[in-house]
Amino acid sequence: MRLDCAGKFIDLSQPVVMGVLNITPDSFSDGGHYRQLTDALRRAEAMVAEGAAIIDIGGESTRPGALPVSAQEELDRVLPVVARLARELPVPISVDTSKSEVMREAISAGAGLINDVRALRLPGALEVVVASGVPVCLMHMRGEPGIMQREPYYADVVAEVRAFLAERVHACEAAGIPGDRILVDPGFGFGKTLAHNLSLLRYLDRFAGLAAGVVVGLSRKSMIGSLSNAPVGERLSGSLAAAVIAAWQGARIIRAHDVRETVQALRVCAGVLEAD
């Protein structure tokens, strides 16, 4: 159960943490490109020291209401960081993008995983991943970031998200991506109400058979805030609870901001899961 990410490996026999590396859009506001690059490297090295098995880098904001970013802008933001981190870190670099041009260049620069919130539905994306041989995370999103939280409706959210992901896994396999290189993610917060997010987490085990592994991103999200009344900077405890609930039901990659704490919580979870 090892995932080959361009020559670096992730062991999927136990839940692991994908550390979130945020890249600030305005590189000249606080010291320029060099400063941004060294800051990103320092933060990524710290996450690896805290036990992150993979680092996720994104140049397109997918927050509700975010404006679209051009491929060139995304490349300018992400590519130097990907190249540097892929060269210097012992863990794979995941790139959060939906654009085929960004995927192609990021993989050339050493990225080991494509994390696509649009599940390879944009033109050319599927073909780039097929040709590259790197694994992909297919995420479910209803709508687009600007409009996705406008009254999302599902008759059966678990069945519908599962059917979407099954169709995308099938499309990827038909195009030539082996199933053992495909991960799936129900996309918490992406076109879902609190009730939808809770149903997806409650029945997350139903996604386990779809592909090589289940990925979840719950860290600091609004569902944690809604349940706890905590502002975004005070959602660690709730995020850890959600991470453990996900891992208990078979999630193998947990995307998280607070790496050290999440790794510890997942080790407890894994210990109990492995008990006789």
Residues 181 and 3 sit within 8 Å (Cβ to Cβ): yes
Those residues with Cβ within 8 angstroms of residue 32's Cβ, 6 or more apart along the chain or in another chain: none
Residues 6+ apart with CB under 8 A from 62: 96, 117, 141, 145, 190
Looking at the Cβ atoms of 63 and 150, the one nearer to ligand 8Y4 is 63
Residue 77's CB is within 10 A of a number of other CB atoms, namely 22
User: Which of the 8 DSSP states describes residue 98?
Assistant: -
Q: What is the 3-state secondary structure (H, E, C) of 131-200?
A: HHCCCEEEECCCCCCCCCCCCCCCCCHHHHHHHHHHHHHHHHHHHCCCHHHEEEECCCCCCCCHHHHHHH
255 included as an active-site residue: yes
Q: Does 60 bind ligand 8Y4 (CB under 6 A)?
A: no
If one asks whether residue 188 binds ligand 8Y4 (CB under 6 A), the answer comes out as yes
Nearest-angstrom CA–CA distance, 99 and 68: 11
Residue 137 interacts with ligand 8Y4 (CB under 6 A): yes or no: yes
> x/- string (CB under 6 A) for ligand 8Y4, residues 96-135?
x------------------x-x------------------
Return d(Cα 125, Cα 63) in angstroms, integer: 21
Selected catalytic residue, list 168, 181, 221, 235: 221
Give the nearer residue to ligand 8Y4 in terms of CB position, either 23 or 117: 117
Give the per-residue contact string, 222-251, with ligand 8Y4 (x = CB under 6 A; - = no): ----------x-------------------
Q: How far is the CB of 232 from ligand 8Y4 (least distance, A)?
A: 5
- Least Å distance, CB 275 to ligand 8Y4, is 29
Stretch of 27-35, 97-105, 146-154, 216-224 contacting ligand 8Y4, by CB under 6 A? 216-224
Strands 16-22 and 253-256: parallel
Binding residues (CB under 6 A) for ligand 8Y4: these are: 58, 62-63, 96, 115, 117, 137, 139, 185, 187-188, 215, 217, 220-221, 232, 255
The catalytic residue positions are 221, 255
